Amino acid sequence: MLRQSLSQKMIQKLSPQQIQLMKLLQIPTATLDQRIKEELEVNPALEESEDYDEVFDINEEEIREGETKEEENFELDDYLSDYIDDDPTLYKLKGDYFIDDEEKAAPIAVSTSFHEHLGQQLGMMEFDNPTEELVARQIIGSIDEDGYLRREPEALVDDLLFTQNIEVEPEIIYNQLAKIQKLEPVGIGARDLQESLIIQLDAKFEFETDSAKLKIKGIAHKILDKYFNEFSKKHYNRLKRSLGLSDSELKDAIDEILKLNPKPASAFANGSAKNRVNQYVVPDFIITNRDGELDLTLNNKNAPDLRISDQYVDILKGYKDNTQGRRSTKQEKEAVMFIKQKIDSAKWFIDAIKQRQETLHNTMYTIMQYQEDFFRSGDERRLKPMILKDIAEITGLDISTVSRVANSKFVQTEFGTKRLKDFFSESIQTTSGEEVSTLEVKNILREVISREHKRKPLSDEKLKDILQEKGYNIARRTVAKYREQLNIPVARLRKEL
């Protein structure tokens, strides 16, 4: 049985400008210019301003009035009069917190990519037939950014059949792979770490004649080939017993292995299969200490100034002059409404950019004030515990807004460029009842481990005792968690001979 009923619901709907602002908040300075270029391409009413000195103060009340006016009560002539008198060509983007930088282009590191480097070497190789070269190029294209061939050679047979319509035997794949594994950087094209290290070791001692060094190489080769599991887990006593080695012999062999590169492609300048060219971090904020006063500015590099196109306003003025004393046609009204929509969209975008900069500045200024001790000294131990809620309460912003600001943003300080989200941390209580940042505890933990005796590395239990002696009330499982967050392995894997 169907029934109809009326009900009231409170639903928060975001305006297009609010949605646009949230998206813009997430964009770092490094990619903001690209987003602006995209908007310039789709909206002809928006253009780059050539006059950077004029500043237009946004009349928020007039904008809201224009947005809330209902379409059925819209009077075109009245709108045009008010709109033209307001002169939208003065609507420009210019913030109070920007750094004017005449050099708009960010520095770019241009170099040959890892795969291009392999391709150049491939061009100097000799092949018996064109099929072998196609196979070799397919193999190179399948090597990942670390230098490994993750796909099985048998799978490459199917790849060649589907992409090149070439049917080959697995033997041809293996033959070409053996040639590629001799290219530079040494160790590329291996199926796993074990194979890569063996390739590098053999290449290093290929022309060695010294018998003592060849003996060390032989031991290292046997460790990698027959006892790789014991080596990777640092079961050194088991290796000594199995191979009948002295401490010095095992140490020399292990030292040779540790000189090899576990990611052979990283030795190359660009290292990445994805041709990562830009290796620079563009800071979103810059904090300087001017005679004891911290000064915060937004980095406006690469972001062009924006304005409303005066050509579109001229069209509106021309329409108003041409329609005086007569009724507008349907086509004329549609044309004017289209222009109005584009101009309003441009104004919304400029306003969203300005709101973005103001929100970024207010949030970063609050963080700077909250962590003033750090920005003056550069000592990470002076960072206070700080969570998103702390900044949200001071700024009056929503926690999600603060999160969007902190994500993927960087601040340049006198002590280096820092990731904004690294300033946020939970607190831990000392034995005296004082609350300190977990960042402080992690830094001390890292320092203690760096000073440990590498032949007898400290266990998590020992680390807990040391931290407690320093006054930090911490459990062993918390030490293990912080150690893992610092990418520090367990004591057994930190052991050295």
Query: What is the DSSP secondary-structure string of 342-398?
Result: HHHHHHHHHHHHHHHHHHHHHHHHHHHHHTHHHHHH--GGGPPPB-HHHHHHHHT--
- Beta carbons within 8 Å of 180's beta carbon, 6+ residues apart: 118, 122, 136, 139, 140, 188, 189
**Cβ–Cβ under 8 Å, residues 405 and 284:** no
Is 311 found in the same domain as 218? no
Domain shared by 42 and 89, yes or no: yes
Task: Among 395, 411, 444, identify where a domain stops.
Answer: 395
Q: Does any domain span residue 408?
A: no
pLDDT band at 496 (very low <50, low <70, confident <90, very high): confident
Residue type, 302: N
Nearest to 389 by CA among 410, 373, 406, 413: 406
Q: What is the DSSP letter of 458?
A: P
**Residue 56 pLDDT > 60:** no
Q: Are residues 326 and 454 in the same domain?
A: no
Q: Is 304 left (phi over 0), alpha (psi -120 to 50) or beta?
A: beta
Is residue 8 situated within a structural domain?
Answer: no
Q: What is the DSSP letter of 441?
A: H
DSSP summary character for residue 207: T
Residue 401 in domain: no
Greatest Cα pair distance, the chain, in angstroms, is 108
Q: Percent of the chain having pLDDT more than 70?
A: 77
Q: Which domain holds residue 216?
A: 194-260
- Tell whether 136 and 272 lie within a shared domain: yes
Do 253 and 270 fall within a single domain? no
| 241 and 176 assigned to the same domain | no
Same domain? 167 vs 54: no
Q: What is the pLDDT of residues 274-331, one digit of tens each?
A: 444 445 678 889 999 988 899 999 887 656 778 888 787 777 777 666 666 566 677 7
Residue 2 lies in a domain: no
pLDDT score for 391: 92
| CA pair distance 421, 388, nearest whole angstrom | 9
Domain assignment present for 328: yes
Q: Would you state the pLDDT for residue 120?
A: 84
Is 390 found in the same domain as 302? Answer: yes
How far apart, in whole angstroms, are the C-alpha atoms of residue 150 and residue 460? 35
More confident position, 58 or 366: 366
Of 301, 235, 296, the C-alpha closest to 103 is 301
Please check the confidence at residue 363 and state whether its pLDDT lies above 90.
yes
Enumerate the β-bridge partners of residue 293.
Answer: 290
Find the helix or strand (DSSP H, E) in which 306 lies: strand 306-308
Nearest by Cα to 284 from 404, 437, 387: 404
What is the Cα–Cα distance from 230 to 124, expressed in whole angstroms?
40
Which pair of structure tokens corresponds to residue 152?
């099985």
Whether the pLDDT of residue 108 is over 60: the answer is no
Give the residue from 226, 244, 276 where a domain finishes: 276
Residues 46 and 96 in one domain: yes
- Going by pLDDT thresholds of 50, 70 and 90, the confidence category of residue 366 is very high
Q: Which residue has the higher pLDDT, 335 or 185?
A: 185
Residue 464: give its domain's CATH number. 1.10.10.60
Q: What is the pLDDT of residue 371?
A: 92
Together in a domain, 362 and 315: yes
Residue 94's pLDDT band (cuts 50, 70, 90): low
Q: Report the C-alpha gap between 208 and 82 in whole angstroms.
A: 87
Strand 410-413 relative to strand 285-290, pairing = parallel
| 245 is a domain residue | yes
Residue whose tokens read 């500043």: 55
Q: Are residues 325 and 457 in the same domain?
A: no
Domain membership flag for residue 468: yes
Q: What's the domain count of the chain?
A: 4
411 belongs to a structural domain: no
The residues that bridge with 307 in the sheet, in sequence order, are 47, 92
Q: What is the pLDDT of residues 189-218, one digit of tens each?
A: 999 999 999 999 999 998 889 999 999 999
Residues 436, 345: Cα–Cα separation, whole Å: 47
- Phi and psi at 197, nearest 5°, equal -65, -40
What's the 3-state SS for 397-410?
CCHHHHHHHHCCCE
Contact 195, 262 (CB under 8 A): no
| CA end-to-end distance (rounded Å), the chain | 81
The answer to whether residues 160 and 207 belong to one domain is: no
Cα–Cα distance, 271 to 113 (Å, whole number): 7
